[in-house]
Amino acid sequence: MTWRDKAKPIIADIIKTVGTDDMKKLRAALREAYPFYERENHPYKIWCDEIHRQLGTRKPKNKTSSDTDAQISLWSV
């Protein structure tokens, strides 16, 4: 079982119970429900990412095709 597999049902249950109307209350409940040891490293990153996934607040990656094209052209000498 992965960190995400452990986190998914806990986060879903908290969101379902508390709701998304009061985000301050939801964040506090999610902080309180953190199931792993210390809030650092890989498990905590997965926990935060899963919260963003379930709430639909993930930030898009900031990579554009023009950046990639510019980098490729540097090597096409």
Q: How far apart are CA 68 and CA 24, in angstroms?
A: 39
Q: How far apart are CA 16 and CA 33, in angstroms?
A: 13
**Torsion angle of C-alpha atoms 37, 9, 5, 50, degrees rounded to 10:** -80
**Identity of the amino acid at 3:** W
Domain boundaries, the chain: 3-60
**Identity of the amino acid at 49:** D
**pLDDT tens-digit profile, the chain (77 residues):** 899 999 999 999 999 999 999 999 999 999 999 999 888 899 999 999 999 999 988 776 666 555 666 666 666 65
The pTM of the full predicted model, rounded to 2 decimals, is 0.73
Rounded to an integer, what is the distance from CA 42 to the centroid of its chain? 12
